[in-house]
């Protein structure tokens, strides 16, 4: 499709619901190892954008290419995940009655039932990976605590750790900072900067302090397409962006 290496290439993607264009010729390019923040008012199309990338919604038209080779519009959700696209919804979905360790253990074994997963032993390499993830997501001192006893922020980190077990190349993360304390929010920004050394990230977020801490390129969505793109300072100074956020 294109010569430049890209993790995600979207061109002219449109989706209508009963004649209403939730995405209206959306185009975007995410480079390998790039972190991108996505902002935009309610109804801008952020969720629909993640739905079309992950195969949950099929676009009416347009191109979505993963890794310069896979046409994602042809795959369903499970296949997109297997290709290496991890999605984190806003609400954490950890298993509260299992420990942090057991939740991670299950994610590393993937696809089995809880009981099969708990009976199955981790390989040496998987154990190392699990320790690495625990360290990365700031949960080493909570290894044997029940997930249900974690703070909201810690549950979000655990779920991100569980996604990492699948070794995704691209992570789509929906409003991670919502409901977090200021300290958790800043630790999450640090975590994402570390993750961006190995993965590409798309982070949908409303919290401007968090986005500032991410220190990455920002895309502003409005009415299903890209209204502005650039540093946070640049898009904040854009008259059209100001109009969209303040002029309503
Ligand atoms: P955001 O996540 O930026 O708030 P959404 O992608 O959820 O925006 O929604 C974009 C627009 O599409 C909204 O006006 C919403 O009402 C509409 N929409 C989203 N999903 C559906 C659906 N399944 N059926 C009908 N309308 C939808």
Please give the residue that has the higher pLDDT: either 34 or 108.
34
User: Does the model's ipTM exceed the 0.90 cut?
Assistant: yes
What predicted TM-score, i.e. pTM, was given to this entire model?
A: 0.92
Q: Is the CB of 43 under 6 A from ligand 1?
A: yes
Pocket perturbation via mutation, ligand 1, pick of 22, 23, 42 by most ligand atoms within 8 A of CB: 22
Residues paired with 54 in a beta bridge: none
Instruction: Name the helix (H) or strand (E) containing 49.
Output: helix 46-53
Residue 63 Cα to ligand 1 midpoint, Å, equals 20
Q: Is the CB of 156 under 6 A from ligand 1?
A: no
Atom of ligand 1 nearest to the CA of 41: 3
Pocket perturbation via mutation, ligand 1, pick of 43, 44, 224 by most ligand atoms within 8 A of CB: 43
Residue 43 Cα to ligand 1 midpoint, Å, equals 6
Euclidean distance between CA atoms 205 and 178, whole angstroms: 8
User: What per-residue confidence (pLDDT) applies to 199?
Assistant: 96
pLDDT confidence band for 119 (50 / 70 / 90): low
Atom 18 of ligand 1, residue of closest alpha carbon: 22
User: What per-residue confidence (pLDDT) applies to 154?
Assistant: 96
> Residue-wise over 234-243: b if at least 16 C-beta within 10 A, else e?
ebbeeeebee
Q: Angle 189-201-175 (CA atoms, 0-180°, nearest 5)?
A: 60
Atom 25 of ligand 1, residue of closest alpha carbon: 17
Atom of ligand 1 nearest to the CA of 44: 3
Rounded average pLDDT over 98-115: 81
């Amino acid at each position: 499709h294109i010569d430049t290496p890209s993790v995600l290439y979207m061109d002219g993607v449109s989706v209508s619901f009963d004649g209403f264009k939730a995405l209206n010729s959306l185009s975007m390019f995410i480079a390998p190892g790039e972190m991108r923040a996505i902002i935009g008012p309610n109804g801008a199309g952020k969720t629909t954008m993640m739905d079309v990338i992950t195969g949950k919604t099929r676009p009416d038209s347009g191109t979505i290419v993963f890794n310069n080779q896979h046409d994602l519009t042809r795959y369903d959700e499970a296949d997109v995940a297997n290709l290496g696209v991890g999605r984190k919804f806003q609400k954490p979905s950890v298993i509260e009655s299992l420990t942090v360790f057991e939740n991670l253990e299950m994610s590393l074994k993937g696809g089995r039932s809880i009981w099969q997963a708990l009976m199955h032993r981790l390989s040496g390499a998987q154990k190392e990976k699990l320790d690495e993830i625990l360290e990365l997501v700031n949960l080493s001192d909570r290894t044997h605590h029940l997930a249900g006893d974690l703070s909201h922020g810690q549950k979000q980190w655990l779920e991100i750790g569980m996604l990492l077990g699948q070794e995704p190349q691209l992570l789509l993360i929906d409003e991670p900072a919502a409901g977090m304390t200021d300290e958790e929010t800043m630790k999450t920004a640090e975590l994402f900067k570390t993750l961006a050394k190995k993965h590409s990230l798309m982070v949908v977020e409303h919290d401007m302090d968090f986005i500032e801490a991410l220190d990455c390129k920002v895309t502003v969505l409005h009415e299903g397409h890209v209204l502005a793109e650039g540093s946070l300072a640049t898009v904040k100074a854009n008259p059209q962006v100001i109009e969209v956020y303040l002029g309503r």
